[in-house]
Amino acid sequence: MSALHPAGAWQPYACDPQHSGGRRLHESPAPTRSEYQRDRDRIVHCTAFRRLVYKTQVFLNHEGDLFRTRLTHSLEVAQLGRSIARSLGLNEDLVEAIALAHDLGHTPFGHAGQDALNDCLQAVDPHSGGFEHNLQSLRVVDSLEERYPHFDGLNLTLETREGILKHCSGPAAARLEAREPNGVAHRFVARLRPGLEAQLCNLADEIAYNAHDVDDGVRSGLLKLEQLDEVPLFARHKAESLAAHPGLRGKRLLFESIRRMLSAQVYDVLDASAAAIAQHGPRSVADVRRAPPLICFSAQMAADSVELKRFLRHNLYRHPQVVATTDRAKQVVRELFAIYRAAPQEWIPPGESRTAGLRQLADYIAGMTDRYALREHERLTGRRLFD
Ligand code: MG
């Protein structure tokens, strides 16, 4: 291992809560918690966070109790992120805050729900900006949560918000920058990198879903363990598992192979990132922003990871059974959108002063859990698309 730092020993390239870009509305510091700890705590207590438990990752929430949901996925990203952050001397609290919030903007039914909602918005108004889950995650923490007396949203620090907004199109970045100059979208306009904690969450997200989708895919029966022999990264760790534990079979072999694959990826990120940091020698977050991405896989692991993703895309995400389910899920979102649009009283209770605009409707649908969306769909159409 090239660089290991004792817990809590932040390096000069880590984000420091004492030098945070701050909150949009000034608040006095908390007596016992750093600003990033406070961000994490606000996220854990917010409504959108609790909804993640009933939102789809790949498998619809009602298909089985043991598959990942957005909540358990986010916890896994936080775990991987924290352990890498500790070894690299980054700010663990910030990593945890970003990881727990990164998927707050997801619609019900995963990417299928997002695509359907985006299509609905674009069809009605091509200038609406459509729907994109990263922007929506930011919207949740910036304006949709209603918990505080003096502001909408959670009033998080700039660093946490920047980590949440991991991708952003040019037009969306320009809109955000106009509203908040030098703010959350500035890096996209100025072509700078975010802090290392945000970079790390991106990679931890990828490591987490690649591994847990293999696990859920095999346990669902849609993937066969033997099929994974065509994925070099998995095959290598399965062979290692069998060499260390001859005769290991079934789910223990699956879990042991995944565990080894996860460890190998974590150690690879530690080594490759430590080397990139040593090469570019950032001495501050400002240096990090100007440098190329520093939290990375080695070239070999990056290629292996692409291979694994390709396998999952072909064999799991495009599995006929998954596609059939996601097609019906898209239909649920499309029909809800059409019905609510024609009859705002179905989603805005009488006496409530909410505006029935397109964006508000998108927020409402995006906030639904899988099961709430299915229940609403059945109530409004009298049809049941899933058993
Ligand atoms: Mg994610």
pLDDT tens per residue, range 21-75: 999 999 999 999 999 999 999 999 999 999 999 888 776 656 666 678 899 999 9
263 neighbors 240 (Cβ within 8 angstroms) = no
Confidence (pLDDT) at 2: 46
131 neighbors 162 (Cβ within 8 angstroms) = no
What's the CA-to-centroid distance between 189 and ligand 1, angstroms? 24
Residue 366 lies in a domain: no
143 neighbors 153 (Cβ within 8 angstroms) = yes
74 neighbors 44 (Cβ within 8 angstroms) = no
What's the CA-to-centroid distance between 313 and ligand 1, angstroms? 16
d(CA 223, CA 225): 6
The CATH number of the domain holding residue 234 is: 1.10.3210.10
Domain that holds residue 165: 33-322
List residues bridging with 58 in a β-sheet: none
Query: Can you list the residues of the chain whose pLDDT is less than 70?
Result: 1-8, 59-66
Buried (b) or exposed (e) across 222-261, using 16+ Cβ within 10 A? Answer: bbebeebeebebbeebbeebeeeeeebeeeebbebbbebb
Indicate the pTM of the whole model: 0.95
Confidence (pLDDT) at 354: 79
Residue 302 lies in a domain: yes
What is the count of structural domains for the chain? 1
What's the CA-to-centroid distance between 164 and ligand 1, angstroms? 10
Confidence (pLDDT) at 1: 46
What's the CA-to-centroid distance between 27 and ligand 1, angstroms? 30
Residue 75 lies in a domain: yes
What's the CA-to-centroid distance between 22 and ligand 1, angstroms? 25
54 neighbors 46 (Cβ within 8 angstroms) = no
Residue 335 lies in a domain: no
What's the CA-to-centroid distance between 240 and ligand 1, angstroms? 29
Inter-CA distances, 56 with 65, 106, 180, 329, Å:
11, 9, 32, 11
Residue 2 lies in a domain: no
Residue 358 lies in a domain: no
d(CA 253, CA 273): 30
Residue 58 lies in a domain: yes
The residue among 209, 59, 220, 201 whose CA lies nearest residue 137 is: 201
d(CA 121, CA 111): 15
pLDDT in tens, 295-316: 999 999 999 999 999 999 999 9
At 252 the three-state DSSP class reads: helix
Residue 145 lies in a domain: yes
The residue among 136, 213, 140 whose CA lies nearest residue 167 is: 136
